């Protein structure tokens, strides 16, 4: 299908979300729509899918102008959309979800489950989309749920698939699998409109690229014509530092000491299984690992949000194994939680209030149980400029800010009290390039100010860019602690549970697929030159901050 | 939208938020627009104030239609519309106007009473009687409504105001007949006893929820029954039962335990009304400016974030229920010491449940609860005057009350009826969040 968007304009009140946006998707093409959060990508896709109506402009399919009153019409015209947040019924099976709304029936209106299953099997085989038709969706991993969404679109004969930030929720292996599915769809002549803000993905999969910024198309190009930093500059509107600049670390005294830490979850499984880890003042320890190997639970145990079964947690010599979350905060632990909207912020409350969420009841923000509202607001305004938080004022609800600015609020709050240990879980997940650059800079600055830093990340690029030492976690255990010069493949293998002595580390360039090495297939160079992380700015163009999930 | 399984369904802010803060995308009518234009825009918006006013207007209009439709004179006039068209139309209008007029004169102020007082110089008490009665009627509603609103805005559903009210009334009663002190000491003690009684009843579901996760809705509903029958029992035994009585009627309060009238004995409004206003102001200050109130709000809107920030969800839950019960207990104290002076079983009428309505009407804000209580009370009290003067049954006032609640609870409907602009999901967010909390 050939799709043309011609000068689409969409206003929300006085805001122009799409300003004369034009782009063309050729048949059998993977077209990437690149832009930061807030650039107007999702608005454009919602216009295309009939969820919103353009104020002006035209949509043409194979040359003929169309207007979709609702998504149903878009579907009938062969457009399928896979939303960032899946539209699946969790308690239904994969087959039931796929046929939902277009159910094949037998006489008397009975549901033809056999045909539904057969349809799925046929499509699965055709495009390499492995899904068990009878599996209940809520029990499936996220990557497989996404396949169900794609199957849903294919079952409705979609000839153009819109994938809205499809990789945001995927592990590296799942991303790989998705890309090969996209290639097979392309071979079948279907067009794909792929929306993302991750540069590496764009370069590895796109046939053509359209870049949006602030509601406008700012450029159209192909992967052959640009590199990562050019794309980043187009997207952000200025030159972007793709490498984390940091000097050599000078580790001091141990700050965080975990001894034989064990955490047992609700099901009785040891999710953290005898972890020994030390983080020293003035160093960044990056804890790598595929999501779900106990990193989340480790962080929750350290912040005392989750009970410890055995072992000990010490902070600067003080035993915190049985402390309360509040005592941990008071002891000098800054915590950037993995899920900022769920655990880090109260979205309906103001930016100023969120900036004092864990120091609201101590001086200078309160005395004798009474809050000093003027100070809270003053602190808010100060932090807005200090941490470059883009908000109209400190009095707006934090939920109205973009993801990157929300994370800056969390970081600003956590770093605004004396910090002995900074514990940052997935600190840049879902952020745009500019925000990632900013957050990384702050993490390094905290280290340089003498804090111990533990960064938990499932993003290998981030681990390599930030870590002075890299610890790898697999199934609740630390499988190894290595220096920053270690190769991606080696760390990738450790992430997959293979303990490799450094001497035998394979140096063959592979896709590291088995290891889940977060490399999205562009064969990016190894990050971090040997020699302790110093001088990273030289020579190494792309440790790939841009593709941080 | 609701069937998300991959992502967090709760995240209201997706990919393209916060446009206003983007450089280069300047809103055309932001702060630069003239003030009148902004004001006009404000009234076309679906903000809570406009929605509430329009909800009440809708209820009044629909209620008017019902008043006409149930009036035999109006219907009769319409059946003869061919011969007397003017009469049918004028009756349609006057019947409704008379009905609402009677509610107004009965609960707020009566022009005829004013002119009478002005011309004769006497009868000023009569002028203020409706207002006084409305305020008196509203007093326990304000207390209990504040209690329920405190819970709602903190994510705790206190359906037990009725039981807590009885708890407060019982404790106040005991202090009121058992102690013998000068009024300056006795009355404050009785007030405190009422507060403590309600707080004790509120504490139980609070601690149960904090410790065991028992849902407060179930526990408070069950506790209502416990308190209703406890009162029933206590009023038949010593020391509560009135000596010489076989009915479930309590002893009478000492004179020193009664609320003094504010404007002489001719007008029923008493000190507890001032106390209710003070509690509203106190709650408003507490939620905004105290550290405890801040932690209430945080836990109320996102307990996970509160926990991560070092707050104790268990402690806050227990305290919220206790405070909520305290306020409801003061409602029982207010009716006992302000108007009734003794308890009978059953006690408290429907106050505990009207309090839920009033909290919703007031959108869980103290000022809103105050206005909602006064509106509710004027409808209740004015309806009696309406029945007396126009023969329209009191039940029709209840229908109007119900319609107000109906429209308040369906902001999206009101928004669509009046074609209001959407002000972002938050403006019209259903405020009954937290059933699962």
| Mutation to test the B interface, candidates A9, A10, A13, most B Cβ within 10 Å | A13
DSSP A350: B
**What pLDDT does A533 receive?**
36
**What pLDDT does A235 receive?**
85
* All residues at 6 or more sequence positions from A409 whose CB lies less than 8 Å from its CB, including other chains: A345, A351, A354, A355, A383, A387, A389, A398, A401
Q: Which of B24, B27, B306 is closest, CB to CB, to A214?
A: B24
Inter-chain residue contact A345 with B305, CB threshold 8 Å: yes
Delineate the domains of chain A, giving CATH numbers in brackets.
Answer: 3-236 (3.40.50.300), 254-332+418-521 (3.40.50.300)
Helical H runs in A336-402?
351-354, 373-386
For residue A144, pLDDT beyond 50: yes
Q: Is A17 on the interface with B (CB under 8 A)?
A: yes
pLDDT digits (tens, 9 = 90+) for A40-78: 888 898 899 888 888 999 999 998 899 888 888 898 899
A529, A548, A547: which is closest to A245 by C-alpha?
A529
Helices (H) and strands (E) in chain A, counts: 16, 24
Rounded to 10 deg, the angle between the B313-335 and B124-153 helix axes is: 160
Tell me how far the alpha carbon of residue B437 is from its chain's centroid: 22
Q: Whole-angstrom Cα distance, residue A94 to residue A85?
A: 16
B153, B205, B145: which is closest to B377 by C-alpha?
B145
Inter-chain residue contact A15 with B288, CB threshold 8 Å: no
| Mutation to test the B interface, candidates A88, A100, A147, A348, most B Cβ within 10 Å | A348
pLDDT digits (tens, 9 = 90+) for A402-419: 778 899 999 999 998 889
How many A×B Cβ pairs under 8 Å?
Answer: 180
Give the Å distances, CA to CA, from B291 to A15, A44, A352, A363.
Answer: 38, 44, 14, 11
Cβ pair A355, A386 in contact under 8 A:
no
For A423, counting Cβ atoms within 10 Å of its Cβ (0-12 exposed, 13-18 middle, 19+ buried), the class is buried
* CB environment B8-35: b (16+ within 10 A), e (fewer): eeeebbebbbbbbbbeebebeeeeeeee
Q: Whole-angstrom Cα distance, residue B33 to residue B44?
A: 16
B147, B196, B148, B143: which is closest to B168 by C-alpha?
B196
B105, B112, B71: which is closest to B88 by C-alpha?
B71
Helical H runs in B80-123?
85-107, 111-120
**What pLDDT does A374 receive?**
95
pLDDT digits (tens, 9 = 90+) for B24-80: 333 444 445 666 666 666 666 667 788 888 888 898 899 999 989 988 888 888 888
Inter-chain residue contact B426 with A346, CB threshold 8 Å: no
Q: Count CB-CB contacts under 10 A for residue A311.
A: 18
**What pLDDT does B32 receive?**
55
Residues of B in contact with A169 (CB under 8 A): 6-7
DSSP A486: -
Residue A329 pLDDT class (50, 70, 90 cuts): very high
Q: Which of B18, B292, B294 is closest, CB to CB, to A402?
A: B18
For B156, counting Cβ atoms within 10 Å of its Cβ (0-12 exposed, 13-18 middle, 19+ buried), the class is buried
The mean pLDDT value of chain A amounts to 84
What DSSP string runs through B274-317? HHHHHHHHHHHHHHHHBHHHHHHHHHHH-HHHHHHTT--HHHHH
Give the Å distances, CA to CA, from A168 to A178, A418, B17.
Answer: 12, 33, 17
Q: Which of B20, B292, B309 is closest, CB to CB, to A358?
A: B309
* Angle at CA of residue B80, ends B75 and B85, nearest 5°: 100
Inter-chain residue contact A353 with B294, CB threshold 8 Å: yes
Instruction: Find the Cα–Cα–Cα–Cα dihedral B128, B129, B134, B140, rounded to 10°.
Output: 110
**What pLDDT does B329 receive?**
97
* Angle at CA of residue B322, ends B320 and B328, nearest 5°: 105
Residue A243 pLDDT class (50, 70, 90 cuts): confident
**What pLDDT does B15 receive?**
39
Q: Whole-angstrom Cα distance, residue B323 to residue B290?
A: 14
Q: Which of B3, B19, B426 is closest, CB to CB, to A38?
A: B19
DSSP B342: S
pLDDT of chain B, 437 residues: tens digit per residue: 344 343 333 333 333 443 433 343 334 444 456 666 666 666 666 677 888 888 888 988 999 999 899 888 888 888 888 888 888 888 889 999 999 999 999 899 888 889 988 898 888 888 899 999 999 999 999 999 999 999 999 989 999 999 999 999 999 999 999 999 998 999 999 999 999 999 999 999 999 999 999 999 999 999 999 999 999 999 999 889 998 888 889 999 999 999 999 998 889 999 999 999 999 999 999 999 999 999 999 999 999 999 999 999 999 999 999 999 999 999 999 999 999 999 998 899 999 999 999 998 888 999 999 999 999 999 888 888 888 888 888 888 888 888 888 888 788 888 888 887 765 433 333 333 433 33
* Structural tokens at position A195: 């929306």
pLDDT digits (tens, 9 = 90+) for B8-19: 333 333 334 434
Instruction: Find the Cα–Cα–Cα–Cα dihedral A113, A119, A121, A124, rounded to 10°.
Output: -140
* Structural tokens at position B367: 């000022």
Q: Which of B288, B298, B310 is closest, CB to CB, to A325?
A: B310
pLDDT digits (tens, 9 = 90+) for A470-527: 999 988 999 899 998 888 778 877 887 776 554 444 444 333 333 333 333 333 334 3
* All residues at 6 or more sequence positions from B370 whose CB lies less than 8 Å from its CB, including other chains: B142, B276, B277, B280, B362
Q: Is A328 on the interface with B (CB under 8 A)?
A: yes
Q: Is A218 on the interface with B (CB under 8 A)?
A: no
Give the Å distances, CA to CA, from A486 to A229, A424, A506, A526.
Answer: 24, 22, 11, 8
pLDDT digits (tens, 9 = 90+) for B374-402: 999 998 888 888 888 888 888 888 888 88
Beta strand pairing status for A452-456 and A284-288? parallel
Cβ pair A156, A99 in contact under 8 A:
no
Q: Is A367 on the interface with B (CB under 8 A)?
A: no
Cβ pair B376, B357 in contact under 8 A:
yes
**What pLDDT does A139 receive?**
82
Inter-chain residue contact B5 with A341, CB threshold 8 Å: no
Residue where the block lists tokens 């110089």: B121
For residue A169, pLDDT beyond 80: no
A residues 496-535 closer than 8 Å to B (CB): none
Inter-chain residue contact B5 with A13, CB threshold 8 Å: no
B55, B310, B170, B163: which is closest to A414 by C-alpha?
B310
Q: Whole-angstrom Cα distance, residue A138 to residue A97?
A: 11
A364 upstream amide cis, omega within 30 of 0: yes
B223, B405, B258: which is closest to B334 by C-alpha?
B258
A126-129 — which CB contacts under 8 Å span 24+ positions? A126/A184, A126/A188, A127/A154, A127/A181, A127/A184, A127/A185, A127/A188, A128/A180, A128/A181, A128/A184, A129/A154, A129/A181
CA atoms within 13 A on the CB side of B312: 14
Residue of A nearest to B423 (CA): A13
For residue A147, pLDDT beyond 60: yes
């Amino acid at each position: 299908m050939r799709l043309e968007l011609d000068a689409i304009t969409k206003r929300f009140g006085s805001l122009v979300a799409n300003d004369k946006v034009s782009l063309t998707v050729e048949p059998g093409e993977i077209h990437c729509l690149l832009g930061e959060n807030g650039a107007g990508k999702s608005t454009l896709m919602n216009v295309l899918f009939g969820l919103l109506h353009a104020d002006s402009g035209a949509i043409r399919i194979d040359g003929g102008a169309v207007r979709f009153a609702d998504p149903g019409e878009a579907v009938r015209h062969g457009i399928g959309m896979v939303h960032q947040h899946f539209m699946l019924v969790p308690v239904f099976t994969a087959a039931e979800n796929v046929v939902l709304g277009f159910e094949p029936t037998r006489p008397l209106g009975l549901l033809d489950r056999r045909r539904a299953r057969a349809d799925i099997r046929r499509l699965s085989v055709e495009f390499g989309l492995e899904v068990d038709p009878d599996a209940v969706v809520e029990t499936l991993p996220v990557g497989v749920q996404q396949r169900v969404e794609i199957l849903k679109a294919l079952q409705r004969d979609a000839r153009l698939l819109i994938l809205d930030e499809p990789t945001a929720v995927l592990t590296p292996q799942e991303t790989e699998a998705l890309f090969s599915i996209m290639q097979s769809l392309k071979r079948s002549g279907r067009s794909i409109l792929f929306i993302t803000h991750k540069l590496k993905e764009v370069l590895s999969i796109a046939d053509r690229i359209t870049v949006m910024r602030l509601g406008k198309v700012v450029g159209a190009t192909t992967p052959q014509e640009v590199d990562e930093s050019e794309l980043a500059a187009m997207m952000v509107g200025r030159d972007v530092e793709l490498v984390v600049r940091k000097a050599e670390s000078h580790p001091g005294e141990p700050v965080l000491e975990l001894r034989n830490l064990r955490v047992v979850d609700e099901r009785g499984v040891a999710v953290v299984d005898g972890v020994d880890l030390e983080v020293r003042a003035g160093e960044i320890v990056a804890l790598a690992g595929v999501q779900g190997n106990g990193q989340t639970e480790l962080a929750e145990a350290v912040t005392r949000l989750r009970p410890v079964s055995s072992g000990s947690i010490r902070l600067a010599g003080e035993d915190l194994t049985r402390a309360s979350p509040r005592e941990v905060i008071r002891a000098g632990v800054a915590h950037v939680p993995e899920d900022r909207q769920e655990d880090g912020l109260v979205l309906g409350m103001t930016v100023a209030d969120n900036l004092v969420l864990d120091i609201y009841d101590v001086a200078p923000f309160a005395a004798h149980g009474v809050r000093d509202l003027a100070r809270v607001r003053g602190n808010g305004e100060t932090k807005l400029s200090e941490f470059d938080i883009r908000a109209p004022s400190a009095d707006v609800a934090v939920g109205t800010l973009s993801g990157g600015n929300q994370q800056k609020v969390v970081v600003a709050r956590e770093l605004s009290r004396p910090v002995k240990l900074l514990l940052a879980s997935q600190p840049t997940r879902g952020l745009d390039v500019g925000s990632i650059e900013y957050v990384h800079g702050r993490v390094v600055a905290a280290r340089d100010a003498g804090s111990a830093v533990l960064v938990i990340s499932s993003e290998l690029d981030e681990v390599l860019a930030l870590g002075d030492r890299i610890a790898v976690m697999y199934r609740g255990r630390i499988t190894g602690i290595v220096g920053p010069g270690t190769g991606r493949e080696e760390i990738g293998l450790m992430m997959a549970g293979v303990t490799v002595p450094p001497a035998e580390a394979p140096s063959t360039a592979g896709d590291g697929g088995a290891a889940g090495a977060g490399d999205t297939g562009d064969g990016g160079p190894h990050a971090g030159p040997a020699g302790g992380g110093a001088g990273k700015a030289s020579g190494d163009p792309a440790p790939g901050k841009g593709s941080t999930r | 939208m609701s069937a998300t399984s991959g992502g967090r369904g709760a995240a209201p802010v997706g990919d393209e938020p916060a446009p206003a803060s983007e450089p280069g995308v300047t809103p055309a009518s932001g702060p630069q627009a003239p003030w009148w234009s902004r004001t006009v825009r404000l009234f076309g918006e679906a903000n809570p104030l406009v929605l509430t006013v329009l909800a009440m207007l809708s209820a009044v209009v629909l209620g008017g239609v019902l008043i006409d439709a149930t009036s035999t004179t109006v219907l009769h006039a319409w059946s003869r519309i061919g011969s007397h068209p003017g009469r049918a139309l004028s009756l349609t209008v006057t019947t409704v106007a008379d009905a609402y007029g009677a509610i107004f004169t009965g609960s707020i102020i009566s022009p005829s009473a004013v002119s009478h007082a002005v011309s004769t110089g006497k009868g000023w008490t009569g002028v203020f009687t409706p207002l006084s009665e409305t305020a008196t009627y509203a007093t326990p509603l304000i207390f209990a409504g504040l209690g329920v609103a405190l819970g709602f805005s903190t994510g705790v559903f206190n359906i037990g105001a009725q039981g807590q009210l009885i708890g407060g009334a019982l404790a106040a009663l005991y202090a009121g007949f058992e102690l013998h002190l000068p009024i300056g000491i006795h009355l404050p003690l009785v007030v405190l006893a009422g507060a403590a009684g309600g707080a004790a009843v509120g504490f139980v579901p609070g601690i149960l929820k904090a410790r065991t996760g028992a849902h407060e809705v179930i526990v408070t509903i069950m506790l209502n029954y416990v308190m209703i029958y406890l009162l029933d029992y206590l009023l038949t035994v010593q020391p509560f039962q009135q000596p010489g009585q076989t009915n479930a009627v309590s002893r009478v309060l000492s004179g020193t335990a009664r609320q003094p009238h504010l404007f002489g004995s001719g007008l029923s409004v008493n000190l507890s009304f001032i106390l209710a206003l003070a509690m509203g102001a106190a709650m408003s200050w507490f939620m905004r400016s105290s550290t405890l109130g801040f932690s209430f709000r945080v836990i109320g809107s996102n307990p996970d974030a509160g926990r991560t920030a070092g707050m104790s969800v268990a402690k806050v839950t227990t305290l919220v229920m206790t405070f909520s019960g305290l306020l409801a207990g003061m409602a029982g104290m207010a009716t006992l010491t302000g108007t009734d002076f003794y308890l009978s079983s059953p006690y408290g009428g429907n106050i505990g449940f009207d309090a839920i309505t009033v909290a919703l009407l007031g959108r869980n804000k103290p000022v809103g609860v105050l206005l909602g209580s006064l509106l509710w009370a004027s409808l209740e009290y004015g309806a009696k005057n309406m029945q007396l003067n126009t023969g329209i049954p009191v039940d029709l006032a209840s229908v109007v009350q119900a319609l107000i609640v109906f429209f308040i609870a369906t902001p999206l409907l009101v928004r669509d009826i009046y074609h209001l602009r959407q002000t972002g999901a938050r403006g019209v967010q259903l405020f009954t969040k937290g059933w699962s909390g």
